[in-house]
Amino acid sequence: MSLSLLSPSANGSRLGPVEPRHAPLFCFALLTVSCALASFVLACATPFAAFAVIASAMLPLRPALLVVTGAWLVNQGIGFGVLHYPIDGHTMLWGLVIGIAALAATAVSAAILRLLPRASTAMALALALIGGYGAYELALLAATPFLGGADNFTAAIVGRIGVLNIAWLIGLVAAREIVRLVNPFKRHHVVS
């Protein structure tokens, strides 16, 4: 039995483990649960580029942007509500910049996936992650002249977070594949 990661499905979704009508809810649930886990464990290193790629591979751009926004809101809620981030203008602005960066990563990932309709899904996801992660980091870096923190953009830190995004993307694809195999939303055909 082979995984269905070799080509896009008939409806254009590269990663559609459930019926298209359930895809936004499934993607939202997958990313919000993943984001909650990542937020508690990683705090400011939440793998939004990996989330952006998964959302872009499962959904059209507009729903993907909404789902990533939902994941970002979960991240911010946990950060300010549970992890007690300081409630000040600087921290809130960085939170907003992270949200903008996540949306930029989603838009770039979606564009790359659209440009590569015939590429294997594994290759397209890898390229989407590279592009999405680049957009994410550039958006964050663009805010540093105003908010500070440029010293956090060392090769070691950016590389570590990049590897973290790769690991999360692999894990999310694996979770998607498990759901596809078990698919609780399958249509059950009644034989009469």
Closest by alpha carbon to 106, among 142, 160, 159, 67? 67
Q: Which tens digit of pLDDT belongs to each residue from 11-33? A: 445 565 556 666 777 777 778 88
pLDDT at 182 (0 to 100)? 80
Q: Could you give the CA distance from residue 15 to residue 6 in angstroms, rounded to a whole number?
A: 10
Closest by alpha carbon to 122, among 158, 161, 169? 169
Closest by alpha carbon to 102, among 30, 31, 17? 31
Low-confidence stretches of the chain (pLDDT beneath 50): 1-12, 188-192
pLDDT at 119 (0 to 100)? 80
